[in-house]
Each structure stands twice: as C-alpha cells, then as structure tokens.
Amino acid sequence: MADNSLATSGADLELVGIQKRYPGFTAVDNLDLKIPAGSFFALLGPSGCGKTTTLRMVAGLEDPSQGKILIGGKDMTSLKPHKRQVNTVFQSYALFPHMTILENVAFGLRRRKVGDPVAKAHEALKLVELDHVADRKPAQLSGGQQQRVALARAIVNRPALLLLDEPLGALDLKLRRQMQQELKQIQQEVGLTFLHVTHDQEEAMTMADTVAVMNKGRIEQMGAPEELYELPRTVFVANFLGKSNLFAVDVVDGNETAIHTDLFGTRITLPRARTERDSGSITIGVRPEKLRLHREAPTDLAGRNTLGAGRITDVSFIGVSTEYTVEVPGAGTVEVFSQNVEAGPVAGLGDEVWLSWHIEHTFGLADDSL
C-alpha cells in the first residue's frame, strides 16, 4: 500500500452464548465464536440459517435475546451501532446517487468532523484502485466498481471490525471471482478484521482464513477451509462444502492406526485419526474426486479401499473433468469425478466398473443424520 494511514491493527471479536429468539422461533442458538484480530472470517450457510441475524447483532442493529458481544475485549452488547467501531458493507451498495464518488467516500468523515476528509477519501479510493473516477457519479460506474466504492467508504472510517453481508451477491460470476481476490488482498493490506457472511461455499473457501459453517442457527463446524473440506464432521458440512459419497457402515474391529468397517459385506478401512467414533454403526465418506475407476477388479490393494463391481448409469462431460454415476449393489449410488488427463475417459455408460481410493481419503462423521 502506498500510504499506511489506513492500516489498522483490527480488533478481535468474541461472541459468548449469543442467542436470538423470535416468537416461536430461535434464529441464532447459543453461538460461541472467537475471531482473532486481523483475520478474515466467513460465516457460511444456506438461506435462513441465521448468519445475517448474527451479523446484525454484532453491528448493533439487532439486540441479542441472550449472550455477550465483545469487540477488542470490551463488552459492546448494549452499545449503539455507531459506538462499536464497526462498519458494514451490504449487497446493495447504497451510494448517494447525487454525490460524486469522492463525496460518497468522504461523507462519513465530514459528519464526524475528522481532519482532511478529502485526502483520506482519495487514499481509500487508491486502495480500491478507483481514484481516477473520484469525480464521477455512482451511476457512471459498473456494479463491481460501485461495490469497491462501498468498501472504500467503509474502510475510510477505520473501523476495528468490518462486516460484509453478501457484498458480492449482486455481481456476475466472473466479476465476483475477481472481487474475491481483491477483497482478500485489501484485507491483508489494511490488516482489518473481516467478518464475511455468505451462502457461497467457494467464496468462503477462497477468501477466509477460518470458515464457520452454520445450519439452523448453530455452528456445525469451524476451521481452515482445507480442514473443513478434507475432514467434515457432519453430514451437513460434508454435503454443503462440495460433494461427498457417504456410507452407513458397522465397525467390525480395529487397531491403533485404523478401524475396519463392513458395508454390506465389503470391508472398508478408516484411519483412526480421521474419525472420532470407533464403534457401532457410523457414517463414513469419501470425496468423488478421490475415487478411481477400474475396468477390472483391482488386484493391488495395498493402502486402498475398493468397492464393486458396479455399473455406470450416467456420464457427464464437464470439460476439465468427467462425472460418473455408478450404481454399486449394497453401497448405492456413488459419484466419481475424474480429471480429463491425456489418457482420456476410461469407461462409458453401462460399463461394469470397480472403484478404489486411498484409505487416507476416507473420513468418519460424528453425527448420525444420514
């Protein structure tokens, strides 16, 4: 960044037992959350899971029914929004149409009688690479540019915490992907704490250091994107972040490193480190891209699980990959994503196939909701 005066240390955010109840309905249920200062945190979940309500409580636009909100270690639960050092960027940019871009960004500073609002506004516009359109009106900018102005307007106030509520939702796919990279870069440059709310799993995974997956008012799992993807703990997380093949199995026996399970007569091995449950009936899974198709029963099984024979019931050519649906007696429908490498497709509709995957790619779930 050219000038460092927009840089801030950010503040950490802590939610302690936060709950929001409406008559006959609990929108946010006993949420505990700690977001370290300067991190990019995403709340990810389907429509209606309570993520916007959570964000609005942090902003002070909604009172929690119960619980505490601490920003930078201070209890802000009952403070008015403008006393919280929090700014929000919404999906609708809400720029003032009659003001120039510069005036839009400087507006809040002028109101708060902050010194040299024009210089500070230029600086924020430089950060989002829009200083050259400072004299234009919002209608003369594209959607993506307007969203960047909204971001500059929020950052210029130097909040301790920036809340983003589906800020890229109105942009087309290509622009959204580009803005994701830019937002992440800007966050790193200014060092602000970002709390980003989205239903788009790819968006959360590409931008955030930590993702919390929300479902029905609760956090199902929280962690680094790779961790959530590689080791989901619930059926909901396994299916919400990409696709999973899930199987209900019975644990047969095990040793220190692995447990052995039975899936309708087929033995499937699961590393102990990849499951919390090691007895009774459990649900295990494997991602479709971790599966390999074989035209004959595989003979070298060292370190691999196998299933089959099954029959291919659907083939979809996607470009970089081909998606196969395989019906395996006893195991059910299995999805296989195969990268289209030089060898080309290995099988076609109706073919008999076997499946195999590395034991290390098997994960065990902690819930029973399959």
| Residue 90, both tokens | 């919404």
27 contacts ligand ATP (rule: CB under 6 A) = yes
The CB-side HSE value for 331 (13 A sphere, CA atoms) comes to: 28
Helix (H) or strand (E) holding 165, with range, is: strand 161-165
Supply the minimum distance, in Å, between the C-beta of residue 212 and ligand ATP: 12
Q: How many residues bind ligand ATP (CB under 6 A)?
A: 12
Question: Whole-angstrom Cα distance, residue 122 to residue 111?
Answer: 17
Question: Whole-angstrom Cα distance, residue 124 to residue 300?
Answer: 60
Residue number with CB closer to ligand ATP (136 or 216): 216
Supply the minimum distance, in Å, between the C-beta of residue 180 and ligand ATP: 18
Question: Whole-angstrom Cα distance, residue 293 to residue 310?
Answer: 10
Among 50, 159, 232, 308, binds ligand ATP (CB under 6 A): 50
Among 8, 39, 52, 77, binds ligand ATP (CB under 6 A): 52
> Which residue from 357, 260, 259, 262 is spatially nearest to 306, judged by alpha carbons?
357
Residues 29-48 that bind ligand ATP (CB under 6 A): 45, 47-48
Among 6, 10, 37, 51, binds ligand ATP (CB under 6 A): 51
Residue number with CB closer to ligand ATP (38 or 45): 45
Q: Are 343 and 208 in contact (CB under 8 A)?
A: no
Q: Are 289 and 295 in contact (CB under 8 A)?
A: no
Q: Given the DSSP bridges, would you call strands 193-198 and 161-165 parallel, antiparallel or unpaired?
A: parallel
Among 6, 18, 35, 53, binds ligand ATP (CB under 6 A): 53
Residues 177-206 that bind ligand ATP (CB under 6 A): 199
| Residue 19, both tokens | 């709950």
Residue number with CB closer to ligand ATP (29 or 278): 29
Token pair 């891209």 is found at: 289
49 contacts ligand ATP (rule: CB under 6 A) = yes
Question: Whole-angstrom Cα distance, residue 241 to residue 230?
Answer: 10
Helix (H) or strand (E) holding 319, with range, is: none
Residue number with CB closer to ligand ATP (194 or 357): 194
Supply the minimum distance, in Å, between the C-beta of residue 365 and ligand ATP: 23
Question: Which one of the spans 21-29, 85-93, 250-258, 310-318 is the region binding ligand ATP (CB under 6 A)?
Answer: 21-29
Residue number with CB closer to ligand ATP (163 or 263): 163
Residue number with CB closer to ligand ATP (15 or 365): 15
64 contacts ligand ATP (rule: CB under 6 A) = no
Which amino acid appears at position 77 of this protein? T
159 contacts ligand ATP (rule: CB under 6 A) = no
Question: Whole-angstrom Cα distance, residue 229 to residue 368?
Answer: 19
Residue number with CB closer to ligand ATP (52 or 87): 52
Q: Are 67 and 15 in contact (CB under 8 A)?
A: yes
| Residue 363, both tokens | 């994960």
Supply the minimum distance, in Å, between the C-beta of residue 65 and ligand ATP: 12
Which amino acid appears at position 359 of this protein? I
Residue number with CB closer to ligand ATP (41 or 354): 41
Interface contacts to ligand ATP, rule CB under 6 A: 22, 25, 27, 45, 47-53, 199
